[in-house]
Amino acid sequence: MESRESEQVDIQVATQYLAEESLPQENRFAFAYTITITNGGNEAVRLLNRHWIITNGRNRISEVRGEGVVGKQPLIEPGKSFSYTSGTIMETAVGTMEGSYEMISASGRPFIAPVTAFPLVEPSALH
């Protein structure tokens, strides 16, 4: 399902620890992540599905699969970007997320856009 089109989709990630939603004494660490997907290709692309692999500090892995993101299957025109914010809760103060988006170009070519692993870190966890 991989194609050259995935190279023209740029994915940027920004993360934030949510102290107000976390309960460290109960092993609950909340994180928000904002994803920006930019279409650098010459035709529109639609995000169909997501797949996340979340690994906590104890190497416990959970996977999330589903349609679209935040209830949408956005169409991203050439030269445009789509951003959304979502979140996850982990049992440890540090971990990583990585995954991919299943996408399709306006001309009907399906492809996978990978999301490189990014860290989720409670600020005081690293000294």
* 8, pLDDT greater than 60: yes
Residue 89 lies in a domain: yes
The total domain count for the chain is: 1
Predicted model pTM: 0.90
Sheet bearing 9-17, strands edge to edge = 9-17, 29-39, 81-90
pLDDT tens profile 11-64 = 999 999 999 999 999 999 999 999 999 999 999 999 999 999 999 999 999 999
Residue 125 included in any domain: no
Cβ distance 55 to 24 under 8 Å?
Answer: no
Q: Is residue 126 domain-resident?
A: no
Residues pairing with 8 in the sheet: none
Mean pLDDT over 91-105 rounds to 97
Is 72 contained in some domain? yes
Single-letter amino acid, residue 71? G
Residue 123: predicted pLDDT: 92
Q: Is 127 inside a domain boundary?
A: no
90 is a domain residue: yes
Does pLDDT of 3 surpass 50?
no
Q: What is the CATH number of the domain that holds 20?
A: 2.60.40.1470
Strands (DSSP E) found in the chain:
9-17, 29-39, 45-56, 61-67, 75-76, 81-90, 94-105, 110-121
22 within domain boundaries = yes
Q: Read off the pLDDT of each residue in 64-81 and give the average, rounded to a whole number.
A: 97
Pairwise CA distance, residues 59 & 69, whole Å: 25
Classify residue 24: in a domain, yes or no: yes
Range of the domain at 29: 4-120
Half-sphere exposure of 58 (CA within 13 A, CB side): 6
